[in-house]
Amino acid sequence: MSAPVKHTVAVIGLGGMGSGMARALLTAGHPVTVFNRTPDKAKPLAEAGATVADTAVTAVTDADVVILSLADEPAVEEILFGQLLEHLYTYQRVIDTSTVSPAFARSAAERLAARDLRRVEACVVGNPHMAAAGQLRIFASGDPAEVDAVRGVLDAISQSVVYLGQSGRASSLKLAFNLLLGVQTAGLAEAVTFAEAEGLDRTMLLDALDASGWRSPVLSFRAQYMRTRDYLPAGFRGALMFKDLSLAQAEAAEHGVRLPVTECTAGRYRAVVAAGRGDEDAAAVVDL
């Protein structure tokens, strides 16, 4: 049996998830080049064996696969279409793990295809620790042949890969996941607020919930931030939570659907951003 192909991978965007995926790829033996607009975030990866590029264009020069892990649609527009488009070759494949609207995802795939470039849409589920351990869950959409072509890279960063079909579906699923995450986190914050108003200790409540039928890995992860009252470094920034809930509302409206609980929850994260705490973990909503 032949050894698995080791792709040369460029990772653009080194937030918690991007940094984690780059680390998992290095562990799996893939040559990795990284780029981030804030260079300091690349230093730990350089120490782990990654090559650090000074521009996004330089990062993709020798890459077979380009992974994007960017904050939002404007960032994807700027990096992918504003900087990289003229420098990508037809043999290179772009795996976009950024959370964007389904409409943007479909448009991005069409715009790249018009240039004979290949895009795989990847909904990555997990947290930065899972990313670094190669234990994300991935739901991919786009051309199935292109998903298969980058399977070695996807396997290196995940414990499972599920194919969903046409472009846009992975983005729809990611927004559904993040909608539920936002609502659950805000609900946990309100439970804490209520309990403390009744004179109960925050840590006691969170420990009791963690040992109960209400426990979940997602809530346990956010609860740890609430225990310590330290929301940095963020696992999922409050600003991104607000962005994703807003995207879900807009997408639902396109189908004539209202999401009243999501609408209310988005208001809580809007307050987090307005308070200047958008770069903290979404669990900071408990303090507001």
Say if residue 221's pLDDT is above 90.
yes
Q: What is the DSSP secondary structure assignment for residue 101, as one 8-state letter?
A: -
**Residue 240: pLDDT band with limits 50, 70, 90:** very high
Mean pLDDT along residues 123-146:
96
Average pLDDT over residues 172-198: 97
Q: What is the pLDDT of residue 39?
A: 87
Average pLDDT over residues 173-179: 97
Provide the pLDDT for residue 48. Answer: 96
Residues assigned a catalytic role: 174
Q: Which domains does the chain have, with CATH numbers?
A: 9-167 (3.40.50.720), 172-287 (1.10.1040.10)
The whole-number pLDDT of residue 4 equals 59
Percentage, residues of the chain above pLDDT 70: 98
pLDDT at 159 over 80: yes
**Stretch 239-253: mean pLDDT, rounded?**
97
On whether the CB atoms of residues 135 and 159 are closer than 8 A, the answer is: yes
What DSSP string describes 52-100?
Answer: EPSSHHHHHTT-SEEEE--SSHHHHIIIIIIIIGGG--TT-EEEE-S--
Asked whether residue 108 carries a pLDDT value surpassing 50, the answer given is yes
Strand partners, 12: 35, 68
* pLDDT recorded at residue 8: 95
Instruction: Return d(Cα 15, Cα 190) in angstroms, integer.
Output: 28
Q: Indicate whether 5 pLDDT > 70.
A: no
Q: pTM to 2 decimals?
A: 0.92
pLDDT of residue 6: 82
Mean pLDDT of the chain: 95
Tokens of 162: 């599920």
